[in-house]
Amino acid sequence: MPYLQLSLPCTEALHPRVDRALEDVGALAVTLQDAHLDAADEQAIFEPGVGELPLWDDMTLTALFPVDVDPLLLLAALEAFDPELDWSQARFEIIPDQDWERAWLDTFHPMQFGQRTFIVPWNHALPEGADAADAAIIRLDPGLAFGSGTHPTTALCLRWLDDLATSGVLQAQPVLDFGCGSGILALAALKLGAARAVGVDNDPQAIIATSDNAQRNGVQIDVFLPQDEPIARYPIVVANILATALDALAETLAARVANGGRIAMSGILSGQEDELLLRFAPWFDRLHVARDDDWVRIDGVRNSTPVIA
């Protein structure tokens, strides 16, 4: 069915208030785009794990409502919920009915990361090279498409895992995917030879999505909300979350990596890496920065310095 779409310019500071107001008046879905980039540009939309949203300084927020909602009544409800916000810049349009899954499949094609890792839509034939005996093929459901590998942060982590597999470091090792979202990184680790994978995310939808994607790919991922996570140390940890979350969770992440183990962290914009390098330096040696467009991955090796909470 068609939808009524509301579009509104927004700032990082005001986003939480706007989001709460839209949720209160019944928004079916809310998305954010970088206001300074073309909306058709894939870089304009971040693909983090579920529950993690990018907050640029200036953004365009869009929300979907049932098509029979009266825009004037909707504006009145928003103004009543938070009268201090400026709702006058809101713009409305009718979004026609379409096959959303088909639209997604039309733009999502097989992708290769590193030497062996391939992300392929469910209904798509395997691309050239993916028929090799050691190819790591992850099939994704477009209904659970967040974290599909198209964003540089995900791509940086996938290439890191592929490199670890090529060098033999990943084989037969347990892996922790912290902020797992769709489970794409845990799936890749298992397909590349990890012994087992554990996913942690603070959004219940991520737990469902990761479990579903694991089942469809014929593997097992143990997925937990943070409060249910069994505390353990891992030889390989990957955390594709935001820079602010990495900073806040530095001690937690350091405590999850075994001595001599490897960590990769992404979701970091260029310019944010120096502060994070200093933040993680007490616990990690050989810290290395990799870049893809405006995004950064930091990886390193855990030393024996204890975490003092």
Residue 45 domain flag? yes
**Residue 146, both tokens:** 């967040």
**Pair (93, 185) in one structural domain:** no
- How wide is the angle at C-alpha 27 spanned by C-alphas 24 and 30, nearest 5°? 115
Residue 111 domain flag? no
Residue 173 maps to which CATH number?
A: 3.40.50.150
Residue 156 domain flag? yes
Residue 131 domain flag? no
Residue 261 domain flag? yes
Q: What is the DSSP letter of 272?
A: S
**Pair (258, 187) in one structural domain:** yes
Alpha helical stretches, state H, the chain: 15-24, 71-81, 100-107, 152-166, 184-191, 204-216, 243-248, 250-256, 273-280
Q: How confident is the model at residue 141 (pLDDT cuts 50, 70, 90)?
A: low
**How many domains does one find in the chain?**
2
**Pair (70, 159) in one structural domain:** no
Residue 93 maps to which CATH number?
A: 3.30.70
For 278, the domain range is: 141-302
**Pair (71, 153) in one structural domain:** no
pLDDT tens, position by position, 190-237: 999 999 999 999 888 788 888 988 998 999 999 999 999 999 999 999
Binding residues for S-adenosyl-L-methionine: 154, 179, 201, 240
Q: Which of 97, 124, 151 is the last residue of a domain?
A: 97
**Pair (42, 189) in one structural domain:** no
Q: Which of 67, 97, 127 is the last residue of a domain?
A: 97
Percent of the chain with pLDDT over 90: 51
C-beta separation of 304 from 259 below 8 A: yes
pLDDT of residue 244: 85
Q: Which of 97, 115, 132 is the last residue of a domain?
A: 97
**Pair (177, 270) in one structural domain:** yes
Q: What is the DSSP letter of 52?
A: -
**Pair (91, 149) in one structural domain:** no
Alpha carbons 292 and 287: distance in angstroms, whole number: 17
**Pair (167, 272) in one structural domain:** yes
Q: How confident is the model at residue 146 (pLDDT cuts 50, 70, 90)?
A: very low
**Pair (293, 178) in one structural domain:** yes
pLDDT tens, position by position, 148-179: 566 788 889 999 999 999 999 999 999 999 99
**Residue 62, both tokens:** 């869009």
**Pair (149, 277) in one structural domain:** yes
Neighbours of 1 (CB within 10 A): 8
**Pair (181, 45) in one structural domain:** no
Residue 62 domain flag? yes
Binding residues: 154, 179, 201, 240
Q: Does the pTM exceed 0.75?
A: no
CA distances from 223 to 149, 227, 237 (A): 20, 12, 14
**Pair (293, 148) in one structural domain:** yes
Q: Which residue has the higher pLDDT, 276 or 3?
A: 276
**Residue 275, both tokens:** 């502060």
Residue 119 domain flag? no
Residue 104 domain flag? no
